[in-house]
């Protein structure tokens, strides 16, 4: 498919390989293995002398279609699909790193990612230094001779801090390290980290890429040699956390509406953020699209809009925050995000409950903080729903 086409077109027309039935919607290939014409063909496939599918832990046509479509959206040479966002991160570190290597990572990462780096990789003698998402000099100072990888999410969860991808890419390059960006919050519709100098993009396809909260999935994107020869694909093919054809099909169809969904999520979120700023019981609103956001200018340069996540702090701490949650009738009380339906969560007692009060205070995650992943509902209905508890 020509790369002259625009993202909304590519999201619909990339990765179509019709079968002999000429179906219009993409077929789903639910099969674990593939049949060979002859013993010689089987041998040629296994030897890598002939292209083609062998077994769905290695490749599957539906998974390939999803990979091709996401790759053009991220402007990546190669995409490798995984069974979840966490297995995308796992494949990345297992493929690229060895015992004795060191990671510099943002302090504001998804909880399971922190857990993976801190508790699991540490067992294999891979150490991580966590630094401020927004202080580039802290990243530079954390570099050691054995540093191999920089890892960040921007905007961060839940405080929507913005990391300067281009600046950190320069520092990573100087440190002979790869920069990995988890692009879950923005999706390629709002931000393309590879164009800003990142080496690898990670996705939890479970979130906006699916967009309707149905299945788990993930992806690793970047240059072909790094992904294929760097050991990431080899890890997946051998260890097995590959994406199922069913999930790939669901997310592939989700990508078709990604542009319109992200635009609406962001438009609704900006209206919600502005409205929340005017509420007397709301002490602070964190949203990159607001002028009051400390990195509003950087966000404007780096992202096409502020995205769909708004975090705000209410007067009265935990009791007041829980009251807002328990007064809703429409918004779902769930820690998931990126769904067409709005979701509301209290980070201090859910997603960030396992870290100490001190660490939460240091990270700015106060007891009065609430995070809303703004969905596709009418904004007025969402405002009415929150107003009940505010
Ligand atoms: C959800 C999430 C993940 C993990 O993805 P799963 O699909 O749940 O494994 C990683 N990073 C971010 C930013 C997320 O929100």
Nearest to 88 by CA among 257, 168, 204, 184: 204
Number of domains in the chain: 2
Structural domain span for residue 306? 258-387
Residues 147 and 215 in one domain: yes
Average pLDDT over residues 13-39: 96
Concatenate the DSSP letters of all residues of 348-383 into one string.
Answer: GGTTTTTS-HHHHHHHT--TTEEEEE--SS-HHHHH
Residues 166 and 226 in one domain: yes
Pairing of β 178-182 and β 147-153: parallel
Residue minimizing CA distance to atom 4 of ligand 1? 85
Any atom of ligand 1 within 6 Å of the Cβ of 94:
no
Q: How far is CA 89 from the centre of its chain?
A: 10
Distance 331 CA to ligand 1 centre (A): 21
* Contact indicator for 190, 262 with CB cutoff of 8 Å: yes
Residue 78 lies in a domain: yes
Any atom of ligand 1 within 6 Å of the Cβ of 158:
no
Q: Please tell me whether residue 33 adopts helix, strand or coil conformation.
A: strand
Residues 161 and 40 in one domain: yes
Q: Band the pLDDT of 350: cuts 50, 70, 90.
A: very high
Residues 157 and 226 in one domain: yes
Any atom of ligand 1 within 6 Å of the Cβ of 367:
no
| Residue-level pLDDT at 72 | 97
Nearest to 254 by CA among 72, 51, 69: 69
* Contact indicator for 258, 11 with CB cutoff of 8 Å: yes
Residues 241 and 359 in one domain: no
Q: Is the pLDDT of residue 3 over 70?
A: no
Q: Please tell me whether residue 205 adopts helix, strand or coil conformation.
A: coil
Distance 206 CA to ligand 1 centre (A): 7
Q: Which is more confidently placed, 203 or 108?
A: 203
Any atom of ligand 1 within 6 Å of the Cβ of 160:
no
Any atom of ligand 1 within 6 Å of the Cβ of 308:
no
- For ligand 1, pick from 116, 184, 190 the residue to mutate: most ligand atoms within 8 Å of CB: 184
Any atom of ligand 1 within 6 Å of the Cβ of 148:
no
Q: Band the pLDDT of 67: cuts 50, 70, 90.
A: very high
What's the number of CA atoms in the CB half-sphere (13 Å) around residue 287?
A: 32
| Residue-level pLDDT at 364 | 87
Residue 1 lies in a domain: no
| Residue-level pLDDT at 366 | 94
Note if the pTM is more than 0.75: yes
Residue minimizing CA distance to atom 2 of ligand 1? 204
Average pLDDT over residues 306-322: 98
Residues 75 and 159 in one domain: yes
Residues 209 and 240 in one domain: yes
Residue 46 lies in a domain: yes
Residue 322 lies in a domain: yes
Residues 170 and 284 in one domain: no
| Residue-level pLDDT at 360 | 85
Residue 152 lies in a domain: yes
Instruction: State the CATH number of the domain containing residue 317.
Output: 3.90.1150.10
Residues 59 and 175 in one domain: yes
Residues 320 and 175 in one domain: no
Q: Is the pLDDT of residue 1 over 60?
A: no
Any atom of ligand 1 within 6 Å of the Cβ of 215:
no
Place of tokens 């820690």: 335
Any atom of ligand 1 within 6 Å of the Cβ of 110:
yes
Any atom of ligand 1 within 6 Å of the Cβ of 210:
no
The ligand 1 atom at the shortest distance from the C-alpha of residue 184 is 13
* Contact indicator for 177, 206 with CB cutoff of 8 Å: no
Boundary-marking domain end, from 214, 235, 255: 255
Residue 2 lies in a domain: no
Distance 243 CA to ligand 1 centre (A): 15
Residues 287 and 232 in one domain: no
Average pLDDT over residues 242-270: 98
Q: Which residues pair with 284 in a beta bridge?
A: 313
| Residue-level pLDDT at 275 | 98
The ligand 1 atom at the shortest distance from the C-alpha of residue 207 is 1
- For ligand 1, pick from 207, 217, 219, 311 the residue to mutate: most ligand atoms within 8 Å of CB: 207
| Residue-level pLDDT at 2 | 53
Residues 226 and 80 in one domain: yes
| Residue-level pLDDT at 111 | 87
Residue minimizing CA distance to atom 5 of ligand 1? 85
Any atom of ligand 1 within 6 Å of the Cβ of 29:
no
Any atom of ligand 1 within 6 Å of the Cβ of 216:
yes
Any atom of ligand 1 within 6 Å of the Cβ of 206:
yes
Instruction: State the CATH number of the domain containing residue 114.
Output: 3.40.640.10
Average pLDDT over residues 229-244: 95
pLDDT digits (tens, 9 = 90+) for 162-187: 999 999 999 999 999 999 999 999 99
Averaged pLDDT score across all residues of the chain? 96
| 51: Cβ contacts below 8 Å, ≥ 6 apart | none
Place of tokens 């906006």: 208
């Amino acid at each position: 498919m020509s790369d002259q086409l625009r993202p909304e077109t590519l999201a619909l027309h990339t990765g179509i390989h019709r079968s002999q039935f000429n179906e219009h919607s993409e077929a789903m290939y639910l099969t674990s293995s593939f049949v060979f014409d002859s013993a010689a063909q089987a041998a040629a496939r296994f030897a890598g002398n002939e292209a083609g599918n062998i077994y769905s832990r290695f490749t599957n046509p539906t998974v390939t279609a999803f990979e091709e479509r996401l790759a053009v959206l991220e402007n990546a040479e190669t995409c490798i699909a995984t069974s979840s966002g966490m297995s995308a991160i796992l494949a990345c570190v297992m493929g690229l790193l060895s015992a004795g290597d060191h990671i510099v990572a943002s302090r504001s990462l998804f909880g399971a990612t922190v857990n993976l780096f801190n508790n699991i990789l540490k067992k294999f003698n891979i150490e991580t230094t966590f630094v401020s998402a927004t202080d580039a000099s802290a990243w530079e100072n954390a570099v050691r001779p054995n540093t191999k990888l920089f890892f960040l999410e921007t905007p961060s969860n839940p405080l929507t801090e913005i990391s300067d991808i281009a600046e950190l890419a320069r520092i990573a390059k100087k440190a002979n390290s790869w920069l990995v960006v988890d692009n879950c919050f923005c999706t390629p519709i709002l931000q393309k980290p590879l164009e800003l100098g990142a080496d690898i993009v990670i996705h939890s396809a479970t979130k906006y890429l699916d967009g309707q909260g149905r299945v788990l999935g993930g992806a690793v994107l970047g240059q072909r040699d790094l992904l294929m020869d760097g050991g990431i694909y080899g890890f997946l093919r051998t260890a097995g956390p590959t994406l199922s054809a069913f999930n790939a099909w669901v997310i592939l169809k989700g990508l078709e509406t990604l542009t319109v969904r992200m635009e609406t999520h962001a438009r609704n979120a900006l209206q919600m953020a502005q409205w929340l700023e005017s509420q007397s019981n709301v002490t602070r609103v964190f949203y990159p699209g607001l002028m009051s956001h400390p990195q509003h200018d950087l966000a404007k340069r780096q992202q096409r809009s502020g995205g769909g996540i708004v975090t705000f702090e209410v007067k009265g701490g935990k009791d007041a925050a829980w009251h807002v949650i328990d007064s809703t009738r429409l918004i779902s009380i769930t820690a998931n995000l990126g769904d067409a339906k709005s979701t509301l969560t209290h980070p201090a007692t859910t997603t960030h409950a396992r870290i100490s009060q001190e660490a939460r205070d240091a990270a700015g995650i106060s007891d009065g903080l609430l995070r809303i992943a703004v969905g596709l509902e009418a904004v007025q209905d969402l405002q009415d729903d929150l107003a009940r508890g505010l």
